[in-house]
Structure 1
Amino acid sequence: MGVHKQSVSFTDAAFAYAKELVDRGDYPNMSAAVSGELARARQLREQEQALLQAELQRRLALPLDQWEPVGSVEALTSGAFARIDDLELRARHGA
């Protein structure tokens, strides 16, 4: 396993959390804390992805008569488009 030196910046909260992990003995130093927590985050994302894929496969395996109708494409996407519009409006007004 190679080691790459990199200078990074942290928010106060992120730095305090990493320091807390070192102070309580979960990791020997800040570098190990950051690397360890990144490894944990990666593992969690991979597990979430595997669960999502398994659920999609389960649903795709259902017979067609067990599928739920979704209605029109507009009804399916209207909530997402409304959220995007709201975010754009907030960004324009600096909220």
Structure 2
Amino acid sequence: MGVQKQSVSFTDTAYRYAKEFVEAGEYSNVSAAVSGELAKADRDRERSVLEAELERRLSLPLDQWEPLGDVAEVTAGSRAHLEAMTKQH
């Protein structure tokens, strides 16, 4: 991940908000707080889009659902992964 050094200006309110994260120990400095919170906002936006799409698909009538095939085939990879994890412990 690259780092771009920039000089930015904040309103007093925005700066206090970022500084509160630092004072609470959530980030080491204001720059990390801003970067971290921007990344969090991006993840939250992506999660909202995914949730909206899931809601849209779940609201479809059953006759519009696409068959997935055999359940054992759909979950085979996950089951193998869990089994491998169990053997490691």
Q: Distance in 1 between matches of 2:31 and 2:4?
A: 11
Match of 1:9 in 2: 9
Match of 1:19 in 2: 19
Name the TM-score, length of structure 1 as normaliser: 0.60
1:1-95 to structure 2, matched below 5 A, reads 1-59=1-59, 61-62=60-61
Q: Distance in 2 between matches of 1:2 and 1:63?
A: 46
| Partner secondary structure for residue 26 of structure 2 | coil
Residue 13 of structure 1 and its aligned partner are, at CA, apart by 1.3
Name the TM-score, length of structure 2 as normaliser: 0.64
Identity among equivalent positions (%) equals 52
> Where do 5+ consecutive residues of structure 1 fail to align?
65-95
Which stretches of structure 1, 4 residues or more, deviate above 4 A after TM superposition? none
**AA paired with 1:47?**
R
> Where do 5+ consecutive residues of structure 2 fail to align?
64-89
How many matched pairs?
63
Residue 63 of structure 1 and its aligned partner are, at CA, apart by 5.7
**AA paired with 1:26?**
E
RMSD: 1.6
